[in-house]
Amino acid sequence: MTGDTEGDGIDTDSIDLVTPGDVEDARERIGDVVHRTPLDTSRTFAERSGAASVGLKLENVQRTGSFKIRGAYNTMAQLDASQREAGVISASAGNHAQGVALAGQLLDIDTTIVVPAVTPAAKIEATRGYGAEVLVEGDIYERSYEFARERADETDETFVHPFDDEDIIAGQGTIGLELREQFPDFDTVFVAIGGGGLISGIGTVLKAHDPTTRVIGVQPEGAAHAKPTLESAQGEPIHELADVDTVAEGIADTRLLETTAANVREVVDDVVSVSDREIATAVTLLAERAKTVVEGAGAAPLAAALSNAVDVTDEHVVVVISGGNVNLTDHAELTRTGLHELGRYAEARLAVDGWPTAVSDVVETVEAEGAELDVLERARRGSGLGTDAVDHPNRVPVTVGLEGSGPDHLSAVLGALDELDTVRVVSSSQ
């Protein structure tokens, strides 16, 4: 469960907000380093959301697999000689880590990254691959952040914040400049919020160009801290969660900080939350329909666009796909959950007579019904299936995972299995 606490008050007047000029300067600084990522349109997602069109800004194909290199390089390129000599330290859930590491490699700056234990192994190994030292400290990002700040004070390393910094925000805002050029007449943009740096930068550019453009922040239900802060009055505390719980570890922050909170309140129209199951469904649809691998945090904005949280009927919509750094095993689990949510995956427990020869009956029946057999595992006898059909000494408990075109198709497959002389369907979950 997540609990709520109160942080420091927001005094917008005392904070220098990022300007469109800052973002333009950042683009000049990073232009030869970052990719101008593609913006693909999707008829499928337009139809599912009711929008006139949906554009996907694919930052998952950016260098390091996410947008983070934009802000990291913009910040580190401005360090003076003494700061570069001292080295850089940062904290990250994974994507910022790779951005800082690559920037350090390109600028010849030693980098150390502190990550929480929940960080996927793929992100840690990729960060080390760019030459950074990686330290695993803390169970969530906030603990890693505290450790990194304490070490920076002790060693004089330059701390590069993952989001609460004007140069970081300006670098991320270069995505907004590209959006204006690639898809100039959109009505609404969906952007994930972790610490708020990405949406602060994008919103700054878009609102300066057209104040009527809706900027919608998206958070997972298990890390939904930003909306109370957005809606709070001047000087009220920043809303902070005591803990987070979500598959989208890239945006599993507990709060905004002063700089991002002030910028978010200036340029964001609303913040909505989505469930982990909705995120998994979006990951699945992106893999199937857009042919792109996306992590949970990167898929959250699409999950919101496909939900009923915001009415986008007949609008032109942009969804920022912020990152694609995900372990393949985690991606497989997310897509399996997504297929289940779409009614296209079922798990069943079978009692099979005549193991292992009867297994061929199962395989042939599934194939004949036009479905895919994803899992077939022999279960331990007495493993809690709890029926006479399974506990009979001549029958073997088996679990199967089936992928089909929809609930009716899967029901037909299970019915065909149950009609076999050698198989009994004990239970199923669709």
Q: How many CB atoms lie within 10 A of CB 262?
A: 23
Residues known to be catalytic: 68, 322
Q: What amino acid occupies position 207?
A: K
Please determine, for residue 272, whether its predicted confidence score (pLDDT) is greater than 60. Answer: yes
Average pLDDT over residues 265-285: 98
Average pLDDT over residues 138-152: 90
Distances (CA, A) of 137 to 91, 141, 326, 332: 10, 9, 20, 27
pTM: predicted TM-score of the whole model, two decimal places: 0.91
pLDDT tens, residue by residue, 410-424: 999 999 999 999 999
Please determine, for residue 4, whether its predicted confidence score (pLDDT) is greater than 90. Answer: no
For the chain, where do the domains classified as CATH 3.40.50.1100 start and end?
1-34+58-272
Q: Measuring CA to CA, which residue among 71, 132, 75 is closest to residue 98?
A: 132
State the chain's mean pLDDT as an integer. 92
pLDDT tens, residue by residue, 85-124: 999 999 987 789 999 999 999 999 999 999 988 887 878 8
pLDDT tens, residue by residue, 201-236: 999 999 999 999 999 999 999 999 999 999 988 778
For the chain, where do the domains classified as CATH 3.30.70.260 start and end?
343-429
In CATH, what class is 343-429?
A: alpha beta
CB within 8 A of 364, min separation 6: which ones?
none
What's the CA gap between 291 and 20, in Å, rounded?
33
Average pLDDT over residues 357-371: 94
- Which percentage of the chain shows pLDDT scores above 70? 94
Which CATH code of 3.30.43.10, 3.40.50.1100, 3.40.50.2300, 3.30.420.40 fits the domain covering 1-34+58-272? 3.40.50.1100
**372-378 and 395-403 strand pairing:** antiparallel
